Structure 1
Amino acid sequence: MSNPELERSIEAILMVVDEPVTELTLASVLERTVDEVVEALEHLTGSYEGRGFSLKAINGGWRFYSHPECSAVVEKFVLDGQQNRLTQAALETLAVIAYRQPVSRARVSAIRGVNVEAVMKTLVTRGLVEEAGLEPETGAILYKTTSYFLERLGLNSLGDLPALAPYLPDLDRLDEILESLTD
């Protein structure tokens, strides 16, 4: 039996989720029984046949997905939208965050020697960086890279980031140069 009000509420919730939502969560939020939610989800699933999207139960939860037959057009849309490459400033800021996370915006600015507020907004908007709590001493927001960052770089974990040491200047040589300048 169809329940349009419940189905509409489920659709509204599923339109804004980033990860699959369990039947129990939906039932709790909507103040309905799990059986009612399951029945509504099953009815909705059948009602989307022939559409550009589908409703699927994956990994213990429900979510909308684009239809597999539309993958070429979705890929084109997503890739065309991502052709704007990151600026050098954004790449440098992202590198600082990746290697120093969790890190505050002020710390990133201090390391880079410039204000990074606008760049940080870009990185957050693109889903490469997210908030990671507050710094205990100052209350500053801390930032870290996202799973999307790892995915875009083709990494399984942050441990797969290349070592920085080969790219840093020879510190012994730098010390010698600094000493010669002060003599």
Structure 2
Amino acid sequence: MSDTAADTDPARLRRNLEAVLMVVDQPVAAYDLARAFGVDVDTVTHLLRETAREYTEQGRGFDLREVAEGWRFYTRPECAEAVEHFLRDGHEVRLTQAALETLAVVAYRQPVSRGRVSAVRGVNCDGVMRTLVLRGLIEEAGQDPESGALLYRTTGYFLERLGLRSLDELPDLAPFLPDDIEGLDDTGEQTTR
């Protein structure tokens, strides 16, 4: 048996978990880590939480976070400016206002069609939707059984970029909605009474 398979030594398992998480480019589920090392999920989860707590207490420049149903290393927020300064070469890739608005509609209405997103925003969103798909923030989620239109949803990468474990952590929109929304249908259009 290898050094990593079914290793019950906590120090060695912790070292191996750190090594794997250092090289991944997306969050890894505790289940997948446990399976890879031949140990139970509770052991892996306990070690990861303990490690994350220790990093925070030590004031490291990085965090170990549980996001998008998995674990991954991230730069500590107070170090973000230093990292940005180091990495910046004059080109900032940010989402446009239209892309942010479109992404918000998809996040809160998913699964949703392009037509529905366009109706909510009041403008054609086809190009913006293609851009969000190319950036890996949204993906196809099947077809609407009634209209046959393609439906879209957010991806795990979306959750990761926002630092969320699940869509349940999205902030509530109610405080930002107008008081008189009773006469609106689900596309934001005024309904007749």
More helix by share: 1
Aligned residues: 107
2:178 partner letter: P
Distance 1:122 1:171, change over 3 A: same
Distance 1:157 1:82, change over 3 A: farther
Post-superposition offset of 1:84: 1.2
Post-superposition offset of 1:78: 8.7
2:170 alignment partner in structure 1: 161
SS at match of 2:100: helix
1:164 partner letter: L
Gaps of 5+ in 2: 1-22, 24-31, 37-82, 184-193
User: Which protein, 1 or 2, shows the higher relative CO under an 8 Å CA cutoff with sep ≥ 6?
Assistant: 2
Post-superposition offset of 1:169: 1.3
Gaps of 5+ in 1: 1-52, 62-74, 175-183
Of 151, 154, 161, which residue of structure 2 is paired with 1:145? 154
Q: Distance in 2 between matches of 1:79 and 1:137?
A: 47
Q: Distance in 2 between matches of 1:78 and 1:155?
A: 24
Verify: 1:85 aligned to 2:94, yes or no. yes
- C-alpha RMSD over aligned residues: 3.3
Looking at CA atoms only, which structure, 1 or 2, has the larger radius of gyration? 1
Structure 1 segments of 4+ aligned residues over 3 angstroms from their partners:
58-61, 75-82
1:125 partner letter: L
TM-score (norm. length: structure 1): 0.51
SS at match of 2:104: helix
| Aligned-pair identity (%) | 66
1:140 partner letter: A
TM-score (norm. length: structure 2): 0.48
Of 134, 137, 142, which residue of structure 2 is paired with 1:128? 137
